[in-house]
Amino acid sequence: MKISRLIYLLIALLTINLNYGQETEEKDKLSLNEGPISTQFDYISKKSGNYRADGVRYEVVKESNLYKLRTNVLDSLAANSKKTSELKVTISEHETTISTLNKKLEETTTNLTAVSEEKDSMSFLGAQVSKATYNIILWAIIAGLFLLLGIFIYRFRNSNILTQEAKNNLSELELEYEDHRRRALEREQKISRQLQDERNKQKKTK
């Protein structure tokens, strides 16, 4: 038990020594020539002294250190201001780039929409119509042409039938006319013979 306690005690002492050594090393690193402003204030606080006068505690700071700290603070502020200005310029450039990219994206989207519409449409009589409308118009025209063709064929057949009937009627009329002319000629010849016979009779009588 004593050995265990002794070991724990040694470990605790080593830990305390290591922490104290790290804190001492960090304090030794404090400087007005490097490091952030916060550690420089720590340096001023470490290097400052104090005294009491009339019951009031005063902190004594070396004037050169104070001027150095003031210069470092002003330099840090100037550096931060410069960095802020640079960041503002960078942000402005990025905003300009973003605006340009947005315009290009809008143009690309518009062009893509136009190409898609052109791809999905057809030109008909100088106007862009959708493929579905174009197909409907095309099939309507084809159906109309077939209908006109059917009407033309129907009328042609009727005309052909009427023409054939007219030809047949004309042939019949020609036959009737020939028959009538033949009969009239025969009648005329018969009348002429009868007339000649009568003349001959009258001559014989005289």
pLDDT score, position 3: 53
Position 145 pLDDT exceeds 90: yes
Residues 171, 165: Cα–Cα separation, whole Å = 10
Residues 62, 45: Cα–Cα separation, whole Å = 10
φ, ψ at 48 (rounded to 5°): -80, 155
Stretch 168-185: mean pLDDT: 86
List Cα–Cα distances, 152 to 138, 146, 163, 171, in angstroms: 21, 10, 16, 28
Query: Which tens digits make up the pLDDT trace of 1-38?
Result: 445 554 555 565 556 554 544 444 444 467 777 777 77
Average the pLDDT over each of 21-25, 47-51, 94-98 and give the range with the smallest value.
21-25
pLDDT band at 188 (very low <50, low <70, confident <90, very high): confident
Strand partners, 58: 51
pLDDT score, position 78: 87
Tell me how far apart the 2 most distant CA atoms of the chain are, in Å: 207
> Element (H or E) spanning 60, and its range?
strand 56-60
Q: How many CB atoms lie within 10 A of CB 18?
A: 10
Helices and strands (H, E) in the chain, number of each type: 4, 4
Residues 89, 203: Cα–Cα separation, whole Å = 151
Domain extent listing, the chain = 31-117, 130-205
Residues 161, 142: Cα–Cα separation, whole Å = 28
